[in-house]
């Protein structure tokens, strides 16, 4: 009899403990749900906003994983010169500072700076061909060919005064435009250039 009584008491204790555990767990769950509801209604961060942000992040992640095709644009050629038309070629030669001679056929209207840069010759043109420096200084080999050129402007003469190794037949390459009368022109590149620009002499305010 005592055995059954003790067994009944143990079963009763387990039932009470189980009930308390279930009740406390449910209370914690309800408490947590209540806190979530309070946060949602308090205007802090609604659950729908969290789900929307998660969905947006997932889309961005998928986009980042998707390989993208790349395209390349062809670079602009140095010098911006156009190949001459058949039968309209004009011949011009450059002699570099080492004495090497380079012969080219060019179009009417091309200037010596663009021709040199298009063919990777050492002619700097620091001002971009705006007649504001002397780094495209060239020396015309034939005085008779020099006389066929248009007279240099006052701006060109001012820049030539800054050039290294100035001669009677010196010109700025950016100011010499090729034409039929200059067919066969030969110019020499000076051994050095002096990078002085017009802006170096402007009065600073």
Q: Is residue 75 part of a domain?
A: no
pLDDT in tens, 17-76: 555 545 544 444 444 444 444 444 444 544 444 455 455 556 655 655 555 444 333 333
Structure-model confidence comparison of residues 168 and 58, the more confident one? 168
Q: Is residue 189 part of a domain?
A: yes
Q: Is residue 73 part of a domain?
A: no
Considering the domain architecture, whether residues 116 and 192 belong to the same structural domain is answered as: yes
Considering the domain architecture, whether residues 102 and 197 belong to the same structural domain is answered as: yes
Domain boundaries, position 7: 2-63
Q: Which of 26, 48, 63 is the last residue of a domain?
A: 63
Positions of E strands within the chain: 90-95, 101-106, 137-140, 170-172, 185-188
Long-range contacts of 157-161 (CB under 8 A, 24+ apart): 158/198, 159/131, 159/132, 159/133, 159/134, 159/198, 160/134
Question: How far is 107 from 180, CA to CA, in rounded Å?
Answer: 9
Q: Is residue 84 part of a domain?
A: no
pTM attached to this predicted model: 0.58
Q: Is residue 50 part of a domain?
A: yes
Considering the domain architecture, whether residues 97 and 194 belong to the same structural domain is answered as: yes
> What CATH number corresponds to the domain at position 141?
3.10.20.30
Considering the domain architecture, whether residues 51 and 115 belong to the same structural domain is answered as: no
Structure-model confidence comparison of residues 59 and 187, the more confident one? 187
Across 107-130, average pLDDT: 95
pLDDT of residue 87: 93
pLDDT in tens, 126-166: 999 999 999 999 999 999 999 999 999 999 999 999 999 99
pLDDT of residue 80: 73
Residue 197 has pLDDT above 80, yes or no: no
Considering the domain architecture, whether residues 135 and 174 belong to the same structural domain is answered as: yes
Q: Is residue 108 part of a domain?
A: yes
Number of domains the chain contains:
2
Question: How far is 172 from 163, CA to CA, in rounded Å?
Answer: 9
């Amino acid at each position: 009899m005592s055995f059954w009584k003790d067994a009944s008491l143990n079963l009763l204790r387990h039932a009470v403990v189980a009930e308390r555990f279930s009740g406390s767990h449910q209370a914690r769950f309800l408490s947590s749900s209540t806190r979530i509801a309070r946060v949602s209604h308090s205007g802090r961060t609604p659950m729908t906003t969290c789900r929307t942000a998660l969905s947006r992040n997932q889309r961005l992640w998928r986009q980042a994983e998707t390989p993208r095709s790349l395209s390349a644009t062809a670079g602009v050629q140095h010098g911006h010169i156009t190949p001459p038309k058949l039968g309209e070629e004009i011949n011009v030669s450059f002699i570099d500072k080492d004495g090497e001679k380079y012969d080219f056929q060019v179009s009417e209207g091309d200037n010596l700076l663009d021709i040199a840069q298009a063919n990777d010759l050492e002619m700097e043109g620091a001002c971009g061909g705006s007649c504001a420096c002397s780094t495209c200084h060239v020396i015309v080999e034939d005085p008779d060919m020099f006389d066929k050129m248009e007279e240099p402007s006052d701006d060109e003469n001012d820049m030539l005064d800054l050039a290294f190794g100035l001669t009677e037949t010196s010109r700025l390459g950016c100011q010499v435009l090729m034409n039929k009368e200059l067919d066969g022109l030969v110019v020499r590149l000076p051994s050095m250039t002096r990078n002085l620009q017009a802006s170096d002499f402007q009065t600073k305010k």
